[in-house]
């Protein structure tokens, strides 16, 4: 889980970095609307002016950046899971096991970092478009691995969507049950 390093709060980091990491962490735990600016600044140990200095439009700008950052972390987890795998299905199994570990590391609770941060309401078309774009990146990464393992274009697309949907839905059930084994069992449904 080394690449999904949301939890390493040890190293000193620039203020902008700290703001993005804190936003990603707090949003995925309580959702965009559940996090106030004061909570964000306190968590990031950042002075008030710094938020608007780095993100002129404030919280929405920061949310876009936090979702992108969290998404990049998950892209790396996907890439690592498939990189050393001897087959698509073993790569998918590794990915689900890594996500189960991540689930247990985050109090068996945190939500999808994209939907928790960007699904704020129907009127925010920019957030929705960005969520679609980030999800498309995950789907493309998985599709590329399916292609590499010999799937046809159509089949690779189907496989990536199926795995994505299972992971998203499994995560919801895992949260309600506080049980990461829901994630470990997902590859049996592929």
Q: Which residues are at the interface with a copy of itself (CB under 8 A)?
A: 29-34, 107, 109-112, 114-115, 119-122, 128, 131-132, 135, 161-162, 164-170, 172-173, 175-178, 182, 186, 189
| Cα angle for residues 111, 48, 44 (degrees, 5° grid) | 40
User: What tokens were used for 50?
Assistant: 């710094």
Query: Quick one: 54 or 158, whose CB is closer to a copy of itself?
Result: 158
Query: Quick one: 91 or 111, whose CB is closer to a copy of itself?
Result: 111
Closest separation between CB of residue 155 and a copy of itself, Å? 13
Contact (CB, 8 A) for 173 and 182: yes
Query: Quick one: 14 or 172, whose CB is closer to a copy of itself?
Result: 172
Strand segments, DSSP code E, in the chain are none
Closest separation between CB of residue 44 and a copy of itself, Å? 19
DSSP output for 130-142: HHHHHHHHHHHHH
Closest separation between CB of residue 145 and a copy of itself, Å? 19
User: What tokens were used for 55?
Assistant: 């993100």
Closest separation between CB of residue 185 and a copy of itself, Å? 8
Distance, CA of 172 to CA of 168 (rounded, Å): 7
Query: Quick one: 87 or 172, whose CB is closer to a copy of itself?
Result: 172
How large is the C-alpha radius of gyration of the chain? 17
> 21: which residues sit within 8 A by CB, 6+ positions away?
6, 13, 44, 66, 69
Query: Quick one: 50 or 157, whose CB is closer to a copy of itself?
Result: 157
DSSP symbol at 34: G
Closest separation between CB of residue 21 and a copy of itself, Å? 18
């Amino acid at each position: 889980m080394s690449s999904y390093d949301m939890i390493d709060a040890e190293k000193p980091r620039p203020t902008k970095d700290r703001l993005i990491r804190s936003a990603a962490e707090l949003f995925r735990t309580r959702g965009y609307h559940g996090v106030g600016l004061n909570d964000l600044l306190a968590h990031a140990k950042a002075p008030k002016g710094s938020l608007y200095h780095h993100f002129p439009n404030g919280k929405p700008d920061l949310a876009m950046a936090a979702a992108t950052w969290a998404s990049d972390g998950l892209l790396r987890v996907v890439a690592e899971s498939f990189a050393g795998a001897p087959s698509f299905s073993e790569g998918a199994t590794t990915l689900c096991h890594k996500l189960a570990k991540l689930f247990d590391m985050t109090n068996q609770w945190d939500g999808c970092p994209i939907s928790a941060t960007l699904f704020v309401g129907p009127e925010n078309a920019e957030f929705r478009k960005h969520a679609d774009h980030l999800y498309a990146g995950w789907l493309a990464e998985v599709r590329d691995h399916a292609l590499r393992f010999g799937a046809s274009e159509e089949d690779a697309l189907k496989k990536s969507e199926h795995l994505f949907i299972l992971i998203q839905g499994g995560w919801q059930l895992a949260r309600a049950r506080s049980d990461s084994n829901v994630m470990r069992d997902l590859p049996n449904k592929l």
